Structure 1
């Protein structure tokens, strides 16, 4: 496995999972500082980028910082080295450290921040709370000589082709005879130039989501024995994966609100949190949205949530939710820190799939500005 690659290649892998098109238009995701062609052998994951995090990146030898909150969010009118942001930018550039922000695109993406939060809360039957996108599905037909069927199938399903709900490696196979005549300039794997060839082949059929098309076709061309593989891509009317903000699911065992709040406090190692509602009431259905999600409490209620977990709740919104009979738990904005280890674990798998063995280090800097007294 390779121990290094470029900033650009790592970003391509990350954006196949959480493409920038998922981000809201007010957001600033993507490469913030750096060179796409720069070599990377160590990545630091963090919620925020401040001077302490940059110093940490220098210390561990990271060439790329992947953050959730963008370092550059509002337009800069100047870069003053006497100001905190100016010092950070200068230190990053002088140290050849790139910064990439995966913010609302990672919130919305399947397997991103809100799914990590739902996992931490041990929710079952999890669904998207605020649908934003529905992935298009395609049917891939590819014709393979029988001698190479298993090799091609393994390569494609390894990329995620043929996933149907909780079932993986799903395909359909049809036996038949392929015909072709190699012309001048060809370099046939089977047959002779100028002579029509008949080959016993298998037609493999798979379903795949739109984001996988490019890597799958690239892999297909590389692994298929034919110089010109024959394949078809057909857009389907089937419902694809829904992506969006927030998650809603059920607890395995209903629990009192006060007990659930204590579990959240322990799970996220919080000094304190705020709740509305009767601590003795039983909660079974839970909505969660990382960051600042107070404006979506009505959607949580419409979906039948007993309690809504989100940060940065304000007084009047909390009163309105209470009047609707929806309990609230505010563990603070900083619970989004789940992305630090979540990104490390999942990105390691995705890099390994590309035969890349890049070190990924999680920050030890606490960027939460609040202290509870």
Structure 2
């Protein structure tokens, strides 16, 4: 049986807390890292009803999308709503973990899960996340010492490209230099021009590892004064992670696409609201799990035919449509984000096998409960 720390490490590897927005509050909220985890439940909201469901089922860990403590509190007494939830979980031996904006942007995250649930293909982020900054490190080394220097660069963290490591480029040529008085050359003599068969080695390295990589290069290089370049690389903007998703669907009308949305999402009192011409052709679709009106300006001039999100406001929606933007499909916040739960559940089951039992809560925690 894995420990809580083991399960948290898996979830954080898929949805790194460092990618969450600065205002967010994600990660482990309650629980001892060494505790055994045999049952994990997934839900959107950490309400008291969800907490009781988790405890009654015997969950050792409750994973939620929305943080319990997004804003500071001065008390967690059981007389407060948040305190009641926390006490119910801790008294029942159930830990709590929140994955919020870090799960929104990730591969197999909230927006991607929503897009796949609606049948979108050829997915790309609406707003790609910036890739971690990279350097290219170039050095010139005697050919006989090239393997040693390459190994040192790799050990320091260079040469990783996607799912590949030990990646480098080498081309050979002639290096020329004349040691001057005071030099202690590894090759050649003071005052005499030297010509050496050299290898030009190029590697990519995380900018955060720049100092370590350069130190490793200097330590492994046989020359007293090695020649090297450190070149900052531009972000190509091809990150698979980021805010929202854009994709394609089989050609349909706005009315037909809205019906597909309604059928794909769990039922809520909110339902599906649509703004636009029923007969408008729909092929390109953008989605954003949760409240996505902050993306309206970016989508206004795009080739998107419809935008699916939640919590759209009256004036913003009206002005957006007046300026010829995509049709709007407004769905319940809870329903849109619930589509992520089966996805993360499947990832955890695949990673842990039969060591962990999982469950997705189907309890609707959308605050709107009925229409008269």
Same-fold status (TM-score > 0.5): yes
**Structure 2 equivalent of residue 88 of structure 1:** 85
Q: 1:126 aligns with which of 118, 123, 127?
A: 123
1:8-27 maps to which residues of 2 (within 5 A)?
A: 8-27=5-24
The answer to whether residue 49 in structure 2 is matched with residue 52 in structure 1 is yes
Per-residue deviation, 1:67? 0.4
Q: From the CA coordinates, give the structure whose radius of gyration is larger.
A: 2
Q: Do residues 367 (structure 1) and 365 (structure 2) align?
A: yes
Aligned partners of 1:127 and 1:248 also within 8 Å: yes
Q: Which runs of 4+ in 1 moved over 6 A?
A: 136-139, 161-164, 169-172, 207-210
CA distance in 1, matches of 2:84, 2:204: 46
Number of aligned pairs? 287
SS of 1:330's equivalent?
strand
Aligned counterpart, 1:219: none
Alignment partner of 1:348 is 2:349: yes
Deviations 1:17-46 (A, max 9, x none): 110111000110001112112111111111
Matched, 1:325 2:362: no
Q: Deviations over 1:247-269 (max 9, x none)?
A: 00111x21111111111011113
Q: For the Cα contact (< 8 Å) 2:129–2:242, is it kept in 1? A: yes
Distance 1:325 1:90, change over 3 A: same
Q: Distance in 1 between matches of 2:259 and 2:205?
A: 40
Separation (CA, whole Å) in 2 of partners of 1:10 and 1:339: 18
After superposition, the Cα gap between the structure-2 partners of 1:37 and 1:302, relative to the gap in structure 1 and judged at 3 Å, is farther
Are the aligned partners of 1:135 and 1:241 in contact in 2 as well (CA < 8 Å)? no
Residue equivalent to 1:67 = 64
Contact kept, 8 Å, 1:283 with 1:306, in 2: the verdict is yes
Note closer, same or farther for the CA distance 1:267–1:137 as it changes in structure 2 (3 Å cut). Answer: farther
* Structure 2 CA distance for partners of 1:259 and 1:91, relative to 1, 3 Å: same
Distance 2:37 2:24 in 1: 26
1: distance between equivalents of 2:87 and 2:355?
A: 29
Q: CA RMSD in A?
A: 2.9
Which secondary structure state, in structure 2, belongs to the residue aligned with residue 40 of structure 1? coil
User: What residue in structure 2 maps to residue 290 of structure 1?
Assistant: 289
Aligned partner of 2:276 in structure 1 is 277
Report how far residue 349 of structure 1 moved. Answer: 2.0
Q: Counterparts of 1:246-261 in structure 2 under 5 Å?
A: 246-251=244-249, 253-261=250-258
Aligned 8 A contact 1:5 1:41 in 2: yes
Residue deviations 1:99-154, cap 9 Å, x none?
A: 00000000011121111111111112211001223256899xxxxxxxxxxxxxxx
Where does structure 1 lack aligned partners over 5 or more consecutive residues? 140-160, 173-206, 211-234
Q: Which residue number corresponds to residue 40 of structure 2? A: 43
Inter-partner Cα distance in structure 1 for 2:253 and 2:165: 42
Decide whether the 8 Å contact of 1:321 with 1:328 is kept in 2.
no
* Per-residue Cα deviation, 1:249-293 (whole angstroms, up to 9, x for no partner): 111x21111111111011113352211111111111100000001
Alpha-carbon distance, 1:163 to partner: 6.7
Q: Deviations over 1:303-337 (max 9, x none)?
A: 32111110000001101210122210001211111
**Whole-angstrom distance in 1 between the partners of 2:355 and 2:66:** 26
| TM-score (ref. length: structure 1) | 0.70
Q: Shift of the alpha carbon at 1:208? A: 11
C-alpha contact 1:135 1:209 (8 A) present in aligned 2: no
Distance 1:331 1:130 in 2: 21
| 2:144 paired residue number | none
Query: Residue 244 of structure 1: which of 211, 220, 242 is its match?
Result: 242
Q: In structure 2, how many angstroms separate the alpha carbons of the residues matched to 1:303 and 1:10?
A: 40
- Given that 1:133 and 1:242 are in contact with CA atoms closer than 8 Å, whether structure 2 keeps it comes out as no
- 1:108 aligns with 105
